[in-house]
């Protein structure tokens, strides 16, 4: 009896080993050759889930580009044609022409079917140039009207077109750091409808924009930071979420850095756009008329001066000149509020005012305090 039991036991164990070997080899073959019958018993947990995630992400980007791509435009500038004298070592002097050829300089997106295009103000800042809008299918339209928002780096171009596909404007108020985003635009003024992807890298950033010699440094607060590749020429193009909604307008890149770009939140654009559609113009921006640099706390302590806005230059004919503000002054209080580089500085205080408002400035001048009331005017667009 003992010998028979041992024999049966060996046979039973051998059968189990054979079955296990068959199952294991089948599972290996299943993974190597893409067979699926054993998924019921041995689910693909790791790599398959990751592959599915990548497929879904790629599908989202492809869908967004297909849906929104036709709404993204290129903005071109045309310099006036003029005669020039050319010299060739073989033919000597001859007369030629320059200008008159469109040059892609920025991007934009359609916000109404009848030809309203949103872009950045700095893209169309030069009033001496004429501008064209080129749609994604290559059609070119003259810019009939350009309205520039004095409060933000936003402009609206009107073209004579019908049947355009407007974008869907999203909500930038509920963005999260790490959220997936897509940028579309004419990268480097050369590669139209370039698509890049990334994430929201930061929120509530503040950047300086504009020309200091326009009378002030334009401070753009609460902008979106992204690592999606944004290059010169992308300015004015849309920053999109994975649903294809515009959540920002690409505005700037950080010089000397990699993958640090910025976009104006779309809620800011929507407010400006609603005002434009209702009144035919943007809200007026208050204007003081000084070029300045902020004096930090450390610099103030080292030089025994107050923190504030150090006036580098005063614009001729501006409210600042009329109030006798002088180069070398330090404006350190406005209506009793201290000006510091950590609270947005002078630009933020003025941004909250309207043309016609009177500011009571306290100025440090040669060791003395000077009080100067100043009436703000309207900034030129």
Could you confirm whether 235 is annotated as catalytic?
yes
Number of helical (H) and strand (E) elements in the chain, helices listed first: 6, 24
Q: Could you tell me the CATH number of the domain that includes residue 312?
A: 2.30.42.10
Kindly report, residue by residue over 75-128, the tens digit of the pLDDT: 999 887 766 666 566 555 566 555 568 899 999 999 999 999 999 998 998 888
CA 246-248-253 angle, 5° bins: 135
CB 220 within 8 A of CB 264: yes
Give residue 254's pLDDT band: very low, low, confident or very high (50, 70, 90).
low
* Contacts for 103 with CB less than 8 Å, ≥ 6 apart: 76, 77, 78, 79, 189
Query: Is 198 inside any structural domain?
Result: yes
Domain boundary among 88, 123, 158: 158
User: In this prediction, what percent of the chain has a pLDDT beyond 90?
Assistant: 42
Residue 272 sits in the same domain as residue 328: no
Q: How many domains does the chain have?
A: 4
Report the greatest alpha carbon distance in the chain: 120
Which whole-number Å values give the CA distances from 212 to 35, 115, 120, in the listed order?
Answer: 66, 32, 17
- 202 with 263, same domain: the answer is yes
The residues with which 368 forms a beta bridge, in sequence order, are: 365
pLDDT (0 to 100) of residue 273: 87
Does residue 308 belong to any structural domain of this protein?
A: yes
Are 52 and 89 contained in the same domain?
no
163 in any annotated domain: no
User: Does a structural domain hold residue 27?
Assistant: yes
Q: Say yes or no: 64 and 76 in one domain.
A: no
| Position 164 in a domain | no
What ranges in 232-363 are assigned the alpha helix state H?
Answer: 266-279, 297-303, 319-322, 345-351
Pick the catalytic residue from 104, 122, 147, 201. Answer: 122
> Which residues does residue 243 pair with via DSSP β-bridges, in sequence order?
none
One domain, residues 257 and 353: no
- My answer on whether 150 and 174 are in the same domain is no
292 and 273 inside one domain: no
Beta bridge partners of 194: 185
What is the model's pLDDT at position 381? 47
- The question of whether 122 is a catalytic residue gets the answer yes
DSSP state of 64: H
Are residues 49 and 57 in contact, defined by beta-carbon separation less than 8 angstroms?
Answer: no
* Domain edge (last residue) among 257, 279, 301: 279
User: Angle at CA 131, nearest 5°, toward 130 and 133?
Assistant: 160
Residue 293 pLDDT greater than 70, yes or no: yes
User: Which 3 state secondary structure label does DSSP give 377?
Assistant: strand
Enclosing domain of residue 9: 2-68
DSSP helix/strand/coil, 218: strand
CATH code, domain carrying 99: 2.40.10.10
- pLDDT at residue 144 greater than cutoff 70: yes
CA 122 to chain centre: 12
Confidence at residue 214, expressed as pLDDT on a 0 to 100 scale: 38
Which of 107, 235, 318, 377 is an active site residue?
235
In what helix (H) or strand (E) does residue 109 lie, and over which residues does it extend? strand 103-112
Are 182 and 270 in the same domain?
A: yes
Q: Is 151 a domain residue?
A: yes
Residues 269 and 182 in one domain: yes
Q: What values do phi and psi take at 159, rounded to 5?
A: -120, 155
pLDDT at 275: 83
Q: In terms of C-beta density within 10 A (0-12 exposed, 13-18 middle, 19 or more buried), how is residue 60 classed?
A: middle
Note whether residue 263 is domain-resident: yes
Spatial separation of the C-alpha atoms in residues 14 and 228, rounded to whole Å: 60
Whether residues 180 and 245 fall in one domain: yes
Alpha helices in the chain (DSSP H): 2-33, 47-68, 266-279, 297-303, 319-322, 345-351
Given a cut of 70, is residue 196 above it in pLDDT?
yes
Instruction: Indicate the DSSP class of residue 166.
Output: P
Share of residues in the chain with pLDDT > 70 (%): 74
Radius of gyration of the chain (CA): 31
In a domain, 209, yes or no: yes
Note whether 261 and 254 are within 8 A (CB).
Answer: yes
Q: 135 pLDDT exceeds 80?
A: yes
Residues 75 and 63 occupy one common structural domain: no
One of 153, 172, 201, 329 is an active-site residue; which one? 153
Q: Which of 216, 246, 279 is the last residue of a domain?
A: 279
Please state the pTM of the whole predicted model: 0.64
42 lies in the same domain as 127 = no
Please state, as a whole number, how many other Cβ atoms lie within 10 Å of the Cβ of residue 35. Answer: 12
pLDDT for position 330? 95
């Amino acid at each position: 009896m003992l010998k028979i039991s041992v024999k049966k036991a060996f046979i039973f164990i051998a059968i189990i080993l054979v079955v296990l070997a068959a199952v294991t080899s089948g599972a290996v073959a299943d993974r190597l050759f893409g067979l699926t019958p054993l998924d019921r018993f041995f689910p693909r947990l790791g790599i398959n889930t990751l592959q599915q995630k990548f497929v879904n992400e790629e599908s989202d980007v492809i869908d967004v580009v297909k849906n929104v791509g036709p709404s993204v435009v290129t903005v071109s500038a045309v310099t006036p044609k003029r005669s020039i004298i050319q010299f060739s070592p073989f033919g000597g002097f001859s007369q030629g022409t320059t200008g008159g050829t469109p040059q892609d300089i920025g991007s934009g997106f359609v916000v109404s079917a009848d030809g309203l295009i949103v872009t950045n103000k700095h893209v169309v800042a030069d009033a001496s140039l004429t501008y064209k809008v080129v749609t994604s299918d290559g059609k070119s339209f003259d810019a009939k009207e350009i309205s520039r928002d004095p409060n933000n780096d936003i402009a609206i171009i009107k073209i004579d077109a019908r049947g355009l596909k407007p974008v869907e404007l999203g909500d930038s108020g509920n963005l999260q750091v790490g959220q997936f985003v897509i940028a579309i635009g004419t990268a480097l003024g050369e590669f139209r409808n370039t698509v890049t992807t990334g994430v929201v890298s930061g929120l509530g950033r503040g950047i300086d924009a504009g020309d200091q010699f326009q009378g002030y440094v334009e401070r753009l607060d609460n902008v979106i930071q992204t690592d999606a590749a944004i290059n010169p020429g992308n300015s004015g193009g849309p920053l999109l979420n994975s649903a294809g909604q515009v959540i920002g307008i690409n505005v700037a890149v950080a010089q000397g850095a990699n993958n640090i770009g910025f976009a104006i939140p779309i809620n800011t654009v929507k407010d400006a756009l609603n005002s434009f559609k209702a009144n035919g113009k943007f809200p007026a921006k208050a204007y003081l008329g000084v070029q300045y640099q902020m004096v930090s706390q450390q610099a103030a302590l080292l030089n025994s001066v107050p923190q504030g806005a150090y006036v580098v230059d005063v614009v001729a004919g501006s409210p600042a000149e009329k109030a006798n503000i002088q180069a070398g002054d330090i404006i350190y209080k406005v209506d009793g509020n201290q000006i510091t580089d950590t609270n947005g500085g002078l630009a933020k205080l003025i941004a909250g005012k309207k043309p016609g408002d009177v500011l009571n400035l306290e100025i440090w001048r040669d060791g003395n305090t000077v009080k100067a009331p100043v009436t703000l005017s309207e900034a030129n667009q």
